[in-house]
Amino acid sequence: MSKNVKARQSANLATPTDLGANATKDISGGLNILLADVFALYLKTKNFHWHVSGPHFRDYHLLLDDQATQIYAMSDPIAERARKLGGGTLRSIGQIK
């Protein structure tokens, strides 16, 4: 990948805001940490959903599926807020550490 393409991918949006460049970077960085945590929680919840067993299997299975759906739904508003501020978002699972 050329340097020009990489520079465009990592560039922030030119979004009109009263926030300074450092504030935008700090806030979008915090939102990306939150986004990574949401993805990790989603995956953990689905893992329990897939592997639940026992006498209350159906109740727990449905409960965990509902929770996973709600957790996943949180990811889009978090990522969109980071972009609206002019920052970037996670681009791959490999960026989650």
Average pLDDT over residues 40-58: 96
Kindly state whether residue 3 falls inside one of the protein's structural domains: no
Average pLDDT over residues 85-96: 85
Kindly state whether residue 16 falls inside one of the protein's structural domains: no
Average pLDDT over residues 30-58: 96
Question: 82 to each of 62, 65, 87, how far by Cα in Å?
Answer: 32, 27, 5
Q: Domain residues for 59?
A: 36-87
Confidence tier at 6 by pLDDT (50, 70, 90): low
Kindly state whether residue 31 falls inside one of the protein's structural domains: no
Q: Is the pLDDT confidence value at 25 over 80?
A: yes
Number of domains in the chain: 1
Kindly state whether residue 60 falls inside one of the protein's structural domains: yes
Backbone angles phi, psi at 89, to 5 degrees: -130, 175
